[in-house]
Chain A
């Protein structure tokens, strides 16, 4: 992926600051095409640019784990599909995330799961894009947590769209450059339809 960061390191006062976990629907994460890093340091975080106008180093998602699969011989890793009202998240956990891999291995499908992880964009040889989430933790949750997440993700999506429309989105310039054909109305509709699926 392109590496369009500025050469200077962002100065962080007060030491380490953990990157927040963004709430994103599967249908939006799937559309990510641009990944970048701010600063040249080996440890500086990598961001995926969300089409609604925000950078994202970590995501929090809740959905139904419908499938999981063990892969690899020497380097074992697990893949899973987590479904939300808009589509499917592809999640994976390898031997570099032993705790997450054990958690994922233990879960019986189908189940509501809450996942914290880091998004990555892959481009297989055929030219298509694949966005997957490397799991940091995955736990079985109840339906109420799933419903709360749909509300939370819808609110976050609408907040991002409003900021984009008002021109206050922090990465508005990047959006214009990398997602020129974007129609924000698609994501507003997506949020509405997700909310409509929640039965109270």
Chain B
């Protein structure tokens, strides 16, 4: 694991208080906590900062504990929770258009430990803050909105600009460790989806070594689409939770394209199991021919967006459940995978449908009889509990496995 950013962040804090620490020493402390004791990186950073602060007898950095209601003591953004009165120092990293006239200004404010959304009520008469500037916000209230902590600036809150320009290195979070709130990530664009709303600029899947997550960008001035397959560093993205699933809203975020590549986890899940169900909508299907749409049409050639499309395009797919006896996976096989597994090409399926009284149903039935109840190995990407299958082959008998099982069963229990 690379600790250089964290080390830099910690030594910067110490330097600001007029002390200096050997960065090797900081790294050694971090490495010990993370690698030897399995401490979460964010927690390790906090405890090393606290330890050094104690050593040099510094105040105002790290978390000193204590405080209580109405505290004037500075807090790090990562450590504040709903229901508290806090004083923080941070940099405004994003200004959002206020959703209601009752709100004078809203945006995101960050320090080295994290970031939080702030809301200044019109009634508070607070001075407007500018994007990119540092402020000290005294006696603000932390509350919760849609499960996410929010900093409320009310009439009793004091906002003081901080003149000096401090360096701010955002702490990056791995996708597998995201929580609702504001975070910065480095991720690769894995997949792009058809947009489902006219106000939507782009949606899809982002991934890193630890997992994948949905993202959405809404149409707004200055927002650009992400390039598929490219790696981005995304600062201060809003992490929302809906139905227990996270998604990233990039409208608040700034993102820059990065060099290099990321091996996205879930890129190659392998599951051995049986196909226990073939869902309706499998087999030969019709797709909307409108450029970029590609939705499956109903029997009456109706597309949910583009209405009746008589000049549809045929396609093959199988939607179903793959079951290994312990867990069941929703799986989706696309045309080339279906052709090789079911032994029926798209052309053969079309011909069958056109020359058979049952039409497309006949293709479904034959495909079902050819694959249902069979043992297969599927390789593909697992996203949101659904397995997008890249390769699917019938499982073969292995004599070695048979012998091993005989030994296991015959051995003394």
Chain A: residues with CB nearer than 8 A to chain B?
13-15, 17-23, 58, 60, 62, 113-116, 136-141, 144-145, 147-149, 151-152, 154-156, 158, 161, 165, 184-185, 188-189, 191-192, 195-196, 198, 200
Assess whether B399 is interfacial by the CB under 8 Å rule. yes
A-B contact pairs, 12 of them (CB 8 A): A13-B244, A18-B321, A23-B325, A58-B276, A152-B325, A155-B405, A161-B413, A165-B413, A188-B413, A191-B405, A191-B409, A195-B402
* Shortest distance from the beta carbon of A164 to any chain B beta carbon, whole Å: 10
Q: Are B375 and A21 in contact (CB under 8 A)?
A: no
* Shortest distance from the beta carbon of A2 to any chain B beta carbon, whole Å: 26
Q: A117 vs B244: C-alpha distance in the bound complex, in angstroms?
A: 30
Assess whether B31 is interfacial by the CB under 8 Å rule. no
B277 in complex: contacting residue of A14, A116, A138, A154, CB < 8 Å: A116
Closest residue on chain A to residue B384 by CB atoms? A14
Q: A93 vs B372: C-alpha distance in the bound complex, in angstroms?
A: 17
Q: A113 vs B89: C-alpha distance in the bound complex, in angstroms?
A: 69
| The 5 nearest A-B residue pairs measured at CB | A114-B373, A192-B409, A13-B244, A18-B328, A191-B409
Contact with A along B377-396 (1 / 0, CB 8 A): 00000000100000000011
Q: A20-B327, A148-B397 are in contact. Are A60 and B409 (CB under 8 A)?
A: no
Assess whether B245 is interfacial by the CB under 8 Å rule. yes
Q: A87 vs B388: C-alpha distance in the bound complex, in angstroms?
A: 38
Q: Are A145 and B413 in contact (CB under 8 A)?
A: no
Closest residue on chain A to residue B324 by CB atoms? A20
Q: Are A137 and B245 in contact (CB under 8 A)?
A: no
The tally of residues in B whose CB lies under 8 Å from a CB in A reads 33
Q: A17 vs B323: C-alpha distance in the bound complex, in angstroms?
A: 12
Chain B: residues with CB nearer than 8 A to chain A?
243-245, 274, 276-277, 321, 323-328, 330, 368-369, 372-375, 385, 395-397, 399, 401-402, 405-406, 408-410, 413
Q: Are B372 and A114 in contact (CB under 8 A)?
A: yes
Q: Are B408 and A156 in contact (CB under 8 A)?
A: no
* Shortest distance from the beta carbon of B55 to any chain A beta carbon, whole Å: 43
Q: What residues on A are CB-neighbors of B399 within 8 Å?
A: 200
* Shortest distance from the beta carbon of A178 to any chain B beta carbon, whole Å: 21
Q: What residues on B are CB-neighbors of A151 within 8 Å?
A: 397, 401-402, 405
Q: What residues on B are CB-neighbors of A13 within 8 Å?
A: 244
Q: Are A60 and B323 in contact (CB under 8 A)?
A: yes
Q: What residues on A are CB-neighbors of B410 within 8 Å?
A: 192
Q: A22-B325, A139-B368, A156-B325 are in contact. Are A188 and B409 (CB under 8 A)?
A: yes
* Shortest distance from the beta carbon of A19 to any chain B beta carbon, whole Å: 7
Q: A139 vs B395: C-alpha distance in the bound complex, in angstroms?
A: 17
Closest residue on chain A to residue B328 by CB atoms? A18
Q: What residues on A are CB-neighbors of B368 within 8 Å?
A: 139
* Shortest distance from the beta carbon of A88 to any chain B beta carbon, whole Å: 19
Q: A183 vs B385: C-alpha distance in the bound complex, in angstroms?
A: 38
Q: What residues on A are CB-neighbors of B396 within 8 Å?
A: 144
Q: A14-B245, A60-B323, A200-B399 are in contact. Are A21 and B406 (CB under 8 A)?
A: no
Q: Are A200 and B374 in contact (CB under 8 A)?
A: no
* Shortest distance from the beta carbon of A165 to any chain B beta carbon, whole Å: 7
The residue in B274, B405, B406, B409 that gathers the most chain A C-beta atoms within 10 A of its C-beta is B409
Q: Are B276 and A116 in contact (CB under 8 A)?
A: yes
Q: A132 vs B20: C-alpha distance in the bound complex, in angstroms?
A: 75
Q: A198 vs B402: C-alpha distance in the bound complex, in angstroms?
A: 9
B274 in complex: contacting residue of A14, A60, A192, CB < 8 Å: A60
Q: A18-B321, A137-B373, A151-B401 are in contact. Are A158 and B328 (CB under 8 A)?
A: no
Closest residue on chain B to residue A161 by CB atoms? B413
* Shortest distance from the beta carbon of B307 to any chain A beta carbon, whole Å: 30
* Shortest distance from the beta carbon of A91 to any chain B beta carbon, whole Å: 13
Q: Are A195 and B373 in contact (CB under 8 A)?
A: no
Q: What residues on B are CB-neighbors of A23 within 8 Å?
A: 325
Q: What residues on B are CB-neighbors of A58 within 8 Å?
A: 276
